[in-house]
Structure formats: C-alpha cells, structure tokens
Structure 1
Amino acid sequence: MACQPIKVDTLNFEVVVSQYNGAGKFDFVGRKIVSIDQHLKCKCACVVKQENCTPLQTYYPDECRCMCSNEEDRDKCIEENDLKLWNPATCTCQCREIKECTSGFGFNYNTCGCEALRQRIKNTAYEFNKNTYSLGGT
C-alpha cells in the first residue's frame, strides 16, 4: 500500500533548452513545453494492481500482489533445483546457467545443456522450436 493520486492537475511549464558546448558555456537551442502532474488528492491504495498481473498470475487484492497460478510447474522446477530456477515474475522455470555451446552443438533449454545437433534432430522427445534451442558457434 502507498499513497496513490486520485485527483491530478497537469501543469505546463516553458523551459529553455540549451546544450553544453564544452567551453564552460551553454548554447541556446530553443524553448520547450514540459508537462508536470501535480497531485491534488491522494488515498492509500495498492501499488500493484490486477492489470499488472500476467496471464499466468492471480491477483490477491488483500495482499496487493500477483502470484503464480501454475504451482505444479513451480513444484517441478524446484525439484530440478540444481539445474533450474523458478522465476516468480514470469512464472516460468529457467536454466540457472545458459552455456555457450561449441560448433555443432545447440543449447537445450529443457535439459539446460549442450546437445549435438545430430542427436537433437533424432531425439523426438523434444519439440523443436525457436524458444527451446539456441545454436552455438559457426
């Protein structure tokens, strides 16, 4: 919870734009209008709102936060704690380390390791898409 504005007035100010010329002086560039919001009335409200949640999150207004809905995915990720890490902001399981693979190998985001490209193509257990692999070396 924090003080959130509920009544705002926008003030416009004309400012002088200048550029430092390096000789201890500024050169005039022109004038510009800058808009500033002035908060006239505030109330205590959640900083994090429902619209801040991703599709994989549920909003809890009493706690003013978004929490991952896919708990089963999180639990599976935690079981692979040595290789993977749960990201609560994106509600996804990520490799702890993304390795740079040598020529002829590609990084597999499911196993968090480098695999020979021939083996990867033959292995039908993994679905090939641009989000699953990145190619190493040339």
Structure 2
Amino acid sequence: MRGSLFAFLGGAFITLQGVANSRISQDIGTWQTATITQFTGFIMALILLMFVRDRNWKGLKQVKKLYLAGGAFGAIVIFSNVTAIHYVGVTFSTSALLIAQLGLTFLIDRNGWFGMVKQKMRLPQFIGIGMMIAGVVILRY
C-alpha cells in the first residue's frame, strides 16, 4: 500500500513539475529551466535530508559509478518533457512518458538489468502494455 501511495505521489509531482517547467521555459528557455529545476530539487533534497538526519554515507563507495550519474538523467528528463509539452500538450506527453517508462522497466525486469531480480513476464503484462499503447494512440487521434 505504501509503495502504491508513493508511486501515485511521484506520478502527480512529475506532472506538476512538467507543467511548471513548461511555463518557466517559455520565459527563460528549456536548458535554463532544467538548471533551475535541478538546483531547486537539490536544495529541497538537502533540506529534507537535514530533517531526516540520515547520516548513512558509508555505502557510497560501494555504489557503481554509472549509477551515480542517475541525477544527470534528470536534466534530460526535464528537457524532453518540457519540449514534448510544448509540441503535443500535457496529456499526450504524460501518456507517452508513461509508455516509455513501462516499456523500459519491462525490459529491465525481464532481463535483470542493473542488478534487478529477473521477473517472468506473462500474457497479462503484454496485454496491459498493449492496451496502454492503444489508449495513447486513441488519445492522440
């Protein structure tokens, strides 16, 4: 239950962030918007970290260097999302984003990439992804 709640919160805030960033980028540009968003995100995470007081930094040396670049992906996420919203609107952008996320996570789970435990995909998963894609196609046209 808790995981689902956080997933819904994350999805809601991705949408709110995309809309806000789209509006900001109209005034200052997309990469400037990505920079501001990443910076304010860093400040917020730092403030929350100070309240949580979790001082567990010892495991940082065990993290693969590739995974430390995860935050840098955020700049590409922001740029892509803002640009997509300008071209096709919030609804279609968010729908396409979800399809891309689902497709990649499907491959990650199925193949066990990034050290994830392999998941067996069955017909219902394929049908579900197909239905989502069909929904986006219908939404678009």
Higher Rg = 1
| Larger strand fraction of residues | 1
Give the alignment's TM-score, normalised by structure 2.
0.20
- Structure with more contact order per residue of length (Cα contacts < 8 Å, sep ≥ 6): 2
